[in-house]
Structure formats: structure tokens, C-alpha cells
Structure 1
């Protein structure tokens, strides 16, 4: 199974030099009063929180989170979409997001402690339950901001759970990118491509016979094109969380679909902007 820790080990702060977007601003020249255009460089920062508490002698709780901060993004609807999983944020500054994480942590601890105490009798040995949410910047290319959201939790049982969400944001047009903005390929044809390409990225899972293919662990007949996609200069990638299309042992599965495979169905504006031949 894939190593969850490797997914969580993301950098705290992304250097300004790694981001290329600039936002235009108008300023006034002191000498002439003439308006001149200046630029504000796109920057990314982050806030983190890790804390724990004890419910009783057998149960402890741990909370971990990391959120990216985008000081130069001012459009509220775009920010609401970026933090879609964190309802109620009104202050998108670094301090505002740190305050939100503290509140979210307190609510998580309280929600477990306030449960009906009868469930505590089922705990026979010391346990540590946890919840985690982590944002990772995948790329910012051609004004397409790509973010990966990772979630994890454990509340007893044989193993914890984790999952992923991928989102792409068009900084130029201030909106989330949907699949229809990229390709018009019919659903059935895209499903066929996903099925054909499912083993292109090895699962990393092994058994007594050696490596196990993703296709050998499928739980469904047809692989849907989900909303968890991202892209680079070669492929469009669809990301599936454990249990979404395959057994938990398969871990998360990423299926690439090349731009060549999508030839003739790509949105002309997207194709030009990504410089796809």
C-alpha cells in the first residue's frame, strides 16, 4: 500500500520564485499624475496546526492540518471555491486561516468528548484517534492553479481512512476549471480510455506472487471520469481515493489520459493556453 506519510510530508512554505503569476495594479506617478501599471507577484504561504488531547486513560485524540494561504488572490468567490471544504471562513488572511484551524480543532475535540459515553466501554486497549486535512500546491502554470487536498482519519478498527480531492483554478478568469472546460469527449469514450490506461501507473501493491495490477483490484466494471483531475504538459490525470473504484489494498489510483488520446476533443482556448500541439 502506498505510504500515507509521504503524502503528508509537504513543504510548509512555497518560495515566491517558484510561482510565476503576477497581478496587475494601477498606480499614479508622483511627478506627472499619470497612471502606470505595476505588477504584484503571485505568492503562496501556509498555516499549520498539530495538537492532541486525552479523553480518558484509554483514548487520546490528535488533530493535524495544513492550509495554503494566497495573499494576492482577492476575489471572494474564487477563495470560497479554493476553501470549499472549510465552511464559514470570512477572513482569508494568514491570521484568519490560523484562527479557523484553532476553532476547527476545538470543535473536533469537543465532538468526540461529547459523544454518549457508552461507546467508551467498547475500548479495550489504549488508542489514539486522529483527523487530518492537508492542502498541497501541485503547480501554478499558465495561470492554472492546481491544488491537492488530502484527508485522513482513524476512529478505531483495522485501519484508518484517507482520501484525496484535486481542484484546478483558472486565475485569469477567477473560477474553478471543470472537465467540460478541457474536453468534450463523450462519457463512454472517456471511460474506455480510463479502463485501458488503469495500469499505466503501477499500484505499488504486492502479494506473495509479486506486483498486483490496479485492474486486478477493481470493484466496478466501468471507471467513471470523476471531478478529481489535474494535468501537466503531457497528460490529464484522474485521481481515485481508496474504495472509490478499487479495494483498499490498492491505495489511491491515478490514471493518466494523454493529450494525444483526447485529440480532436480539447477545448481550443485550453489547448492554446497549455500550448498543446
Structure 2
């Protein structure tokens, strides 16, 4: 029933990282041509848990979680910001600390998800999944993608993506205020809407729920453009999936801070 993988033992729970070594040399892929290229070799490690239990005749609960570990990042403020989106309750960012946090989070999920007086008519698996991945890493700027999804009955599951960029040189998160001159400028609404409707190839604009697309804080950037990410129901119906709106620097450079353009080497 249970599928547990690992090199750490916590009580009866067995956890392991994707590598037998504490630190692993890996090549980090990029996701598109404009994403800032990854360093040739980036030191990191990871820890993962996969577990499931029977919660009745027709119901299985499944828990799947993983986090990345960065041995060379030691600044507490940066580490706090890196792991805040995981919602794991720990201040110990070691494998041991995360193993303990996984166990607590898993137990809470099972406790909160197990129905008292309900069983599906046919077999279902209710699950939760949470993962981290390096999206890009160059020039002391690390972009991490956080994904979260699951199913707890009903018509469909859920899924969302979050991107955070970290300035490892200055030990801080790169915020929207570090990128744009005036986030409240209404010109952003028009720029985002124009790009969304012009570049839509999957019919997402037909599922638009909002008359105005607001600037948000979920973004990643490369050498030529910045992409804003909108999850299900933020601006479109569930069936539209995740929406990515990309704006080229050449079209919005007057709205961007000069120091940001210099940092991403845009000429």
C-alpha cells in the first residue's frame, strides 16, 4: 500500500533524496529559449516522500511532496523566503528537518481528508502533491517553480504554479517593485490584455472571466522578456488551465526600472 523512498528513517517512515550523496552536481534545463540559461553545474539536493493509506472501502488517500535543498545558500532570510511557499512547518532546512515536517504535514492531510460518514460509490484516490524545481539560475539570480495540485472529490482536481526569483548576490527576493516603476499604472492592464488576446493559441481568451487583467506578483523573466503567470480561476475559467502572458522588454522598457534592465543585460 505504501510507497516510501529514501535514505532517512523517521520512525517507521523511510525517506530518500534523489541522490545518494548529500550534494549532487546536476545540469539544470531551461524551459524555453528566452529563459535565462542555467549554470553548467549547480549544487543542490532534494528530499521526497510518497505515501498512501486506505481510508475506506472505496477511498485511498495519497501524499506526495518534495523539496530542494541548497547547501551553498546560507542566508536565513533567503532560505525563509525559498521555503515559505511549501507551507511546511519547519525552521530547520536540513533533510532531518524536512523529514519531520513531511511527517507532520502528511498526518494532518490524512486526518483532515478522511471523511467521517462518506464513501465514494466507486474507488477514488484523493491526493495532494507539492514540488519544487529550479527554473533558471544565472548571474546570481535563482528562479524556482513551485507546483501544487491534488484531488479531494468533486468535479475536478486543482493545480497551480508559483514562480519566485532570488537575488543570491544581495540575499533578497526580487519583487515586482524591483522590476517595474509603477505597478499601479493602468497601462499594465492594457499591455497584459493586448498580449493575452494577441498571442492566445489555445482558446484561453474565450474563457476569460475578467474585463481587466491585473499585474500580479507571480512572474519569471529572461534576457528579452518577462512572463506573468495566472492560475486557474484568476482571470479565466478552470478549463483554460494556467495562463502565461509574456511581454517583451522592447515593448515595455519605459515601464521597467533601468537597474533591472541592466541586471538582465538587456540592451
Q: Tell me the TM-score normalised to structure 2 length.
A: 0.81
Aligned counterparts of 1:105 and 1:203: Cα–Cα separation in 2: 39
Conserved 8 A contact 2:25-2:42: no
Q: Residue 105 in 1 paired to residue 140 in 2?
A: no
Is 2:165 aligned against 1:175?
Answer: no
Aligned to 2:260: 270
- 1:172 shift after superposition: 1.1
User: Cα gap change, 1:248/1:231 in structure 2, threshold over 3 Å: closer, same or farther?
Assistant: same
Match of 2:233 among 243, 246, 249: 243
User: 1:187·1:225 contact (CA, 8 Å) conserved in 2?
Assistant: no
**Shift of the alpha carbon at 1:164?**
1.4
Once superposed, what is the RMSD of the aligned Cα atoms? 2.1
Q: Which residue of structure 1 aligns with residue 56 of structure 2? A: 56
Find runs of 4+ consecutive structure 1 residues off by over 6 angstroms. Answer: none
Unaligned stretches of 5+ in structure 1? 1-11, 22-40, 205-211
1:146 matches 2:143: yes
> Cα gap change, 1:276/1:66 in structure 2, threshold over 3 Å: closer, same or farther?
same
Equivalent positions of 1:203-218 (< 5 A) are 204=202, 212=203, 214-218=204-208
Gaps of 5+ in 2: 1-17, 29-37
* 1:1-277 map, 5 Å: 15-16=25-26, 18=28, 20=39, 43-85=43-85, 86-113=87-114, 117-118=116-117, 120=118, 123-185=120-182, 186-199=184-197, 201-202=199-200, 204=202, 212=203, 214-277=204-267
Structure 1 CA distance, aligned partners of 2:198 and 2:219? 16
Change (3 A) 1:95 1:59: same
- Alpha-carbon distance in structure 2 between the residues aligned to 1:259 and 1:142: 18
Alpha-carbon distance, 1:63 to partner: 0.6
CA contact (8 A) 1:137 1:146 kept: yes
How many equivalent pairs are there? 235
Offset of residue 95 of structure 1: 3.1
| CA distances 1:200-253 after superposition (whole Å, capped 9, x unpaired) | 55454xxxxxxx2x2211000000111110001111000111111001111111
